């Protein structure tokens, strides 16, 4: 053996030893491997005693190829799996139930050196007053944090990126968590019991050049373009600020609903260029399907697989990267992420965006994981379609095509359209009643969320023919029919607004220096004050009268522009009569089916109609133009 060969073999042996010991070595050709780097751990923390254990960590960094992961006190680790690029490492971490809370440092060793991954063990979750769920006892108030109130000007433009400009409708305007906290008394006074905030994920702190408005790049102020699913958008505050908002809301008797998005990420998420697994996304930025939004193809027995794939795998608006929930690692990541947010902030329910564009099999897994940890937690799914047969297909409680989604509540879009036509445009009320007849399709129609407006549609007052009287009549129906009523911020003061982004105007008075403050009566016009007072009175009446929240809906009389129904409870019934005509009408209503006995004396709880007695199983009502009455029987 020559000296040269001996030196060569010795070098190989030293390299092998160095690799085995996790010490720095050299690669073939004499190039020294680069040291590993870990810049992000997802999730960054988890709870002792949680139902999901082990937790699968995703470490993002560089030079992670060939890594080994050393355990830390209170933790045991599985075998790591590293992406081909060496930038993603998955490892299962099992939490010892007897371990003490605190920060742990996992050792990450490669032939190039050593790094640490910081992970925190948290005390068991505090459950009192949290994770309460949402139901028909609630009145939901939807607000966009950026457009509601500015309580902390210091976070208006973090990093001085020039993304804050109230004169531009698709830039950040400065609303934040502190602003919402300051207005909790206003929301409580209005009668809201639950707040739904648009997503608070961290969005790109840069202009979105993939989407424009008036030819100019925009920002992702709305929250639906996440670039970090484990961070809060710095324009709204931080995670402690979000926790404070939820805690303050709970102290005020208000629940909080988190808006989550598992269908897609934002266009500037690092996954677009470097996905953690080959199947993490459906397609790539260069080659992907475009979402056609044809949700009917999911249930259509005649649709081709390609048509379904366009809906389930297509990129939303052709720019939002579609996450692949059929990829086991992506699915596990999204389930853990949902659990982490709920536990970290103490949310009571989840509003799930773009529900039908995700495989229903995933929803079944996702809801099961949520309910194992939080049995009372509710999910409200956005299934945007006017077809009740299609919307009901996604409601949990029954297996459809062999799958129970577990999604208990859905937005009642099938009812929304006739409500807008009737109360804004003056179309026949008969369509509202006939739509409610389709409740037979739903496993639980009482958990549907009813509404007159949302952040994705023109405001009620922008409908052709809309008046504040029509808006008040619409609110009367919303607060007295079955389901969970929702109010879109600003509708309580008849705020106008066309399509996106005009329908997302700043709430008047939410910013220092605003010319008027509509959070106070002095800042409202007489018409706005009338709408506000009417809605507040309805919310208080709903809170007082259990049948309006939980009673059986009984349709009593349906005409072109008149509609009478009852909410029948165990011990009480409530009669509601609506007149959508522009002139007063006299209406005879049979009420025996609602439990009103002959001789019963009825009183209008809205104060507009005269008292009356039941005779021959009927009552005769005189209703004002575009008016309503809500009757209860007087106690002898």
Measured CA angle at 281 (ends 119, 353), to 5 deg: 80
Whether the CA torsion 611, 617, 621, 626 is positive or negative: it is positive
**Interval 581-603: pLDDT, tens:** 999 999 999 999 999 999 999 99
**Interval 521-552: pLDDT, tens:** 999 999 999 999 999 999 999 999 999 999 99
Residue 361: strand, helix, or coil: helix
| Phi, psi dihedrals of residue 264, rounded to the nearest 5° | -150, 165
| Phi, psi dihedrals of residue 485, rounded to the nearest 5° | -75, 145
d(Cα 419, Cα 429) in Å, to the nearest integer? 8
H-helix or E-strand spanning residue 180: helix 177-182
Catalytic residue of the set 202, 233, 353, 506: 353
| Phi, psi dihedrals of residue 135, rounded to the nearest 5° | -155, -170
At 3 the pLDDT is: 46
> Could you give all domains of the chain from N- to C-terminal order, each with its CATH number?
3-122 (2.60.40.10), 140-544 (3.20.20.80), 554-633 (2.60.40.1180)
d(Cα 19, Cα 11) in Å, to the nearest integer? 12
Q: Do residues 601 and 633 touch, judged by C-beta distance below 8 A?
A: yes
Q: How far is CA 193 from CA 270, 484, 490, 523, in A?
A: 38, 11, 16, 24
Copy the structure tokens of residue 76.
């045991």
Beta strand extents in 2-54 (DSSP E only) = 37-42, 45-47
Is 353 among the catalytic positions?
Answer: yes
Catalytic residue of the set 378, 382, 469, 581: 382
Q: Do residues 202 and 231 touch, judged by C-beta distance below 8 A?
A: yes
DSSP string of 547-571, one letter each residue: HHHHPEEEEEEE-SSEEEEEEE-SS
d(Cα 430, Cα 557) in Å, to the nearest integer? 10
d(Cα 19, Cα 595) in Å, to the nearest integer? 82
Closest CA to 61 of 113, 104, 117: 117
At 1 the pLDDT is: 37
Q: Which residues of the chain have pLDDT under 50?
A: 1-27
Q: Whole-model pTM?
A: 0.94
Q: Do residues 551 and 569 touch, judged by C-beta distance below 8 A?
A: yes
Q: How far is CA 252 from CA 183, 234, 278, 295, 492, in A?
A: 11, 25, 47, 39, 20
Residue 162: strand, helix, or coil: coil
């Amino acid at each position: 053996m020559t000296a040269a060969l001996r030196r060569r073999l010795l070098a190989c042996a030293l390299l092998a030893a160095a690799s085995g010991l996790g010490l720095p070595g050299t690669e073939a050709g004499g190039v020294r491997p680069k040291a590993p780097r870990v810049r992000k751990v997802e999730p960054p923390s988890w709870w002792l005693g949680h139902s999901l254990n082990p937790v699968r960590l995703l470490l993002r960094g560089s030079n992670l190829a060939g890594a080994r992961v050393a355990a830390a006190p209170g933790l045991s680790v599985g075998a790591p799996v590293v992406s081909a690029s060496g930038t993603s490492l998955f490892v299962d971490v099992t939490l010892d139930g007897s371990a003490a809370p605190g920060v742990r440092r996992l050792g990450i060793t490669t032939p190039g050196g050593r790094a640490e991954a910081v992970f925190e063990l948290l005390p068991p979750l505090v459950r009192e007053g949290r994770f309460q769920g949402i139901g028909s006892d609630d009145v939901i108030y939807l607000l966009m944090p950026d457009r509601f109130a500015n309580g902390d000007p210091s976070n208006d433009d973090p990093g001085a990126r020039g993304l804050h400009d109230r004169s531009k409708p698709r830039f950040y305007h400065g609303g934040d968590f502190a602003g919402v906290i300051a207005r909790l008394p206003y929301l409580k006074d209005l009668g809201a019991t639950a707040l739904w905030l648009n997503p608070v994920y961290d969005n790109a702190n840069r202009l979105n050049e993939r989407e424009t408005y008036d030819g100019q790049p925009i920002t992702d102020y709305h929250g639906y373009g996440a670039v970090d699913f484990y961070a809060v958008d710095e324009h709204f505050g931080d995670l402690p600020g979000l926790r404070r908002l939820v805690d303050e809301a709970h102290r005020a008797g208000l629940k909080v609903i988190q808006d989550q998005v598992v269908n897609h990420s934002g266009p500037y998420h690092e996954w677009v260029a470097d996905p953690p697994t080959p199947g993490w996304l459906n397609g790539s930025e260069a080659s992907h399907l475009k979402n056609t939004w044809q949700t009917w193809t999911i249930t259509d027995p005649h649709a081709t697989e390609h048509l379904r794939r366009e809906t389930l795998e297509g990129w939303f608006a052709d720019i939002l990267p579609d996450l692949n929930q059929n990829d086991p690692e992506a699915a596990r990541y999204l389930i853990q992420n949902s659990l982490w947010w709920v536990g970290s902030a103490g949310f009571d329910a989840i509003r799930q965006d773009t529900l039908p564009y995700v495989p229903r099999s995933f929803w079944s897994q996702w809801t099961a994981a949520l309910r194992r940890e939080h049995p009372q937690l509710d999910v409200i799914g956005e299934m945007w379609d006017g077809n009740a047969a299609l919307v009901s297909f996604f409601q949990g409680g029954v297996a459809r095509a062999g799958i129970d989604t577990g999604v208990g509540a859905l937005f009642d879009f099938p009812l929304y359209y006739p409500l807008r036509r009737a109360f804004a445009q003056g179309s026949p009320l008969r369509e509202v009643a006939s739509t409610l007849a389709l409740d037979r399709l739903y496993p639980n129609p009482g958990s549907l969320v009813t509404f007159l407006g949302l952040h994705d549609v023109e405001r009620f007052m922008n409908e052709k023919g809309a008046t504040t009287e029509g808006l008040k009549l619409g609110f009367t129906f919303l607060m007295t029919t079955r389901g969970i009523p929702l109010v879109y911020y600003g509708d309580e003061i008849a705020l106008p607004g066309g399509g996106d982004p005009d329908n997302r105007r700043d709430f008047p008075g939410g910013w220092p220096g605003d010319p008027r403050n509509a959070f106070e009566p002095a800042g409202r016009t007489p018409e706005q004050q009338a709408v506000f007072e009417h809605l507040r009175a309805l919310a208080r009446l709903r809170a007082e009268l259990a049948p309006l929240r939980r009673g059986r809906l009984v349709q009593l009389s349906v005409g072109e522009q008149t509609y009478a129904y009852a909410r029948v409870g165990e011990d009480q019934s409530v009669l509601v009569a609506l007149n959508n005509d522009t002139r007063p009408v006299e209406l005879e209503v049979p009420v025996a089916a609602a439990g009103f006995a002959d001789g019963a004396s009825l009183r209008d709880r809205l104060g507009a109609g005269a008292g009356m007695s039941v005779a021959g199983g009927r009552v005769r009502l005189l209703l004002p133009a575009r008016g309503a009455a809500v009757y209860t029987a007087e106690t002898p």
